[in-house]
Amino acid sequence: MVKKIATRDAYGNALVEFGSDNKIVVMDADLSKSTKTELFKKQYPERFLNMGIAEANMMTAAAGMASCNKIVFASTFAMFASGRAYEQVRNSICYPALNVKIGATHAGITVGEDGASHQTIEDIALMRVLPNMTVISPADAVETRAAVKTAIETDGPFYIRLGRLAVPVINDENDYKFELGKGVLVSEGADVTIVCTGYMVSQTIEAGKLLEKEGIKPRIINIHTIKPIDKDILIKAAKETGAILTVEEHSIIGGLGSAVSEVIVENCPVPVKRVGINDKFGKSGKPDELLVMYGLTPENIAIKAKELLESKKNK
Amino acid sequence: MEIQKLKELKRYATIIRKDIIDQVYSAAAGHPGGSLSCADIVSVLYFKEMRIDPKRPHWEDRDRFVLSKGHCSPALYGALAERGFIPKEDLLKFRQASSYLEGHPSMKLIPGVDMSTGSLGQGISAAVGMALAGKLDGKDYRVYSILGDGEIEEGQVWEALMCAAHYKLDNLTVFLDHNGLQIDGKITDVLSPEPVKDKFEAFGLKVIVVNGHEHQQIVEAIDEAKKTKGKPVMIVAETVKGKGVSFMENEAGWHGTAPNKEQRDKAIAELDDLLAKLEVE
Ligand SMILES: Cc1ncc(C[n+]2csc(CCOP(=O)(O)OP(=O)(O)O)c2C)c(N)n1
Ligand SMILES: [Mg+2]
């Protein structure tokens, strides 16, 4: 059995692990039990600030603190971090390029039972369009830990997209090297490329196993840094495999699929198909049921990859 | 306060008012009304109260100022120029593509600007963040901010004030530029935030009401704010929008309109008269 850990848990643990520096402050908006910033609060109560259910103020106050040489992690659900406080993130954090790290948990439909109002499927689109913003969508607990460490070490605004659901740990903590802005080659096939991010990386790895059973060798690329995106790995894959499927737990509009398409269309046009949420809202349900309903399963990813492969052959 | 200092503050306020007119005139754009109404507060902050050093705009222990009503940048830029943070001649490039003097204050571009503002309701939260950082670090710097009275219709302002009171930010002093006007008319006609004093008190702030054009009163209020423990202080400054230029006073139309050449000359002549009077006083 693979070990499963939610990336929000890894986030809370990483804040404790790397949070000894007095410059680090963690803010939350009455969700510290859910975002796991409560772990930091227990360890460093003097540097934890509950800002209440007032996300707009939290984001701008985080900017104000960052202007005084603090590294501020501001956490709430991704829905409210990217949506409710969007303009605060834009004008008070990104425009002055302040050192605020947004730890946005409960992204995507795997939030589950809370339903559409809490399932942001637009946040990657909203955050990556902002100048000065770095957007990271870690695949698992190991990558999350590394992302938090990197965010602390790198000056400027970060958006770290995290999930509620416990997801497989696919990376090995001991030899994992996180490189900001560099995609990870998960498997080396050449029939078709599947580019994925977040929890969809482990789903895609499972899809890869299904495809291999049918003699298809996909190249799988994990894009943990959505912005700045790794153009080189994408262009190389386009040249060598001739077709790209993108997979994300996000709207097909504006997210990973769009970011990849932008690179491919400008540099090396090949067919691109996008798997994601098809311009719809989420709904309540168990995460696993929702993944099936919205087509974010290994089976559906494999079907879409085969369709793309067929269309490539027929050209 | 000595008579001499008081006279100096009045003189600087008038010079800043001239700077405001010239910036908005040369840009043919900008916000004279609200800039003129806060010029006296700004002059007290920059020429008496704030611990700042034009040679070290990023000095860690400096007092901070956040112009939450960022559209009144001409007042701030005037003060920064007169105080030596930026060259005075640059003011005439206000809002031009070749200049760093953005329409609304940008901390990345302009020495002495502590926070980028312009989107109303946000600056006050940034000031709260700075005050929180000061408390956390055990520093003695103070944080000042100016809010517009239309601006406080923004919900975020009240989030920020709740937060300031909750964390007992007695290192934070906020001014309300209570000029009674916003773009579309009287604040009481558009969406009344009144009674402001009661609301601020209910939110846990200590409130001091002053005439926002009387330097002596502004100074005394700040002194009282500095002595106040355990609470942020709100200084409600009763002001006149367009103050100092007869035809701009109390006219909502001068919120965001630049004067033409004739109007500019008239405004400057009035302010020069005032300066001459201050000299002989
Ligand atoms: C969030 C936001 N909404 C609208 C505006 C446009 N705007 C600029 S100034 C202004 C009126 C401000 O009135 P007030 O706060 O009373 O300022 P003052 O009278 O001191 O100029 C408005 C609506 C803005 N800058 N920010
Ligand atoms: Mg007003």
Q: What's the average model confidence in pLDDT over B118-146?
A: 98
Query: CA-CA distance, B49 to B255, in Å (whole number)?
Result: 28
Q: Would you state the pLDDT for residue B52?
A: 98
Cis geometry, peptide bond prior to residue A271 (ω within 30 degrees of 0): no
CA of B147, closest atom in ligand 1 = 15
Which residues of A belong to the active site? 55
Mean pLDDT of chain A: 97
Q: Which residues line the pocket of ligand 1, CB cutoff 6 A?
A: B 31, 33-34, 37, 69, 71, 118-121, 148-151, 177, 179, 181-183, 241, 255
Mean pLDDT of chain B: 98
Query: CA-CA distance, A102 to B169, in Å (whole number)?
Result: 24
User: Looking at this protein, which amino acid is placed at residue B120?
Assistant: L
Do you know the residue count of chain A? 315
Domains delineated in chain B:
3-280 (3.40.50.970)
Measuring from atom 21 of ligand 1, which residue has the nearest CA? B34
The whole-angstrom distance between residue A244's C-alpha and the CA centroid of its chain comes to: 19
**Do the beta carbons of residue B16 and residue B38 sit within 8 Å?**
no
Residue carrying the six token digits 């992690």: A73
* A57 closest CB neighbour out of B60, B66, B163: B163
Q: Would you state the pLDDT for residue A2?
A: 85
* A60 closest CB neighbour out of B60, B108, B126: B126
Inter-chain residue contact A70 with B133, CB threshold 8 Å: yes
* B132 closest CB neighbour out of A61, A88, A92: A61
Counting ligand 1 atoms within 8 A of each CB, the residue from B31, B119, B120, B178 with the most, and so the one to mutate, is B120
SS3 B233: strand
CA of B118, closest atom in ligand 1 = 25
| Chain B residues with beta carbon closer than 8 angstroms to that of A49 | 132, 167
Residue carrying the six token digits 């009282």: B224
Do you know the residue count of chain B? 281
Q: What percent of chain A is predicted at pLDDT more than 70?
A: 100
By the CB < 8 Å criterion, does A18 face chain B? no
- The dihedrals phi and psi of B104, each to the nearest 5 degrees, come to -120, 150
- The dihedrals phi and psi of A251, each to the nearest 5 degrees, come to -55, 145
E strands, chain A, are 4-6, 24-28, 48-50, 71-77, 100-105, 134-136, 158-161, 166-168, 184-188, 192-196, 218-222, 225-227, 244-251, 272-277
End-to-end CA distance of chain B: 17
Q: What's the average model confidence in pLDDT over B96-119?
A: 98
Q: What is the pTM of this model?
A: 0.97
> Shortest Cα distance from B106 to chain A (angstroms)?
7
- A263, pLDDT greater than 90: yes
Give the CA count within 13 Å in the CB-facing half-sphere of B22: 19
B208-245 confidence digits (pLDDT tens): 999 999 999 999 999 999 999 999 999 999 999 999 99
Give the chain A residue whose CA is nearest to the CA of B125.
Answer: A61
Domains delineated in chain A:
4-168 (3.40.50.970), 184-313 (3.40.50.920)
| Chain A residues with beta carbon closer than 8 angstroms to that of B123 | 60
Q: How confident is the model at residue B1 (pLDDT cuts 50, 70, 90)?
A: confident
Contacting residues for A26 by C-beta, under 8 A, at least 6 apart: A15, A19, A37, A40, A41, A44, A47, A48, A49, A72, A73, A75
Dihedral in degrees, nearest 10, Cα atoms B260, B261, B262, B266: 100
By the CB < 8 Å criterion, does A66 face chain B? yes
Query: CA-CA distance, A81 to A126, in Å (whole number)?
Result: 11
Q: How confident is the model at residue A186 (pLDDT cuts 50, 70, 90)?
A: very high
Inter-chain residue contact B125 with A96, CB threshold 8 Å: no
For the sheet containing B172-178, what is the strand order? B64-67, B143-148, B172-178, B233-238, B206-211
- A312, pLDDT greater than 90: no
Measuring from atom 18 of ligand 1, which residue has the nearest CA? B34
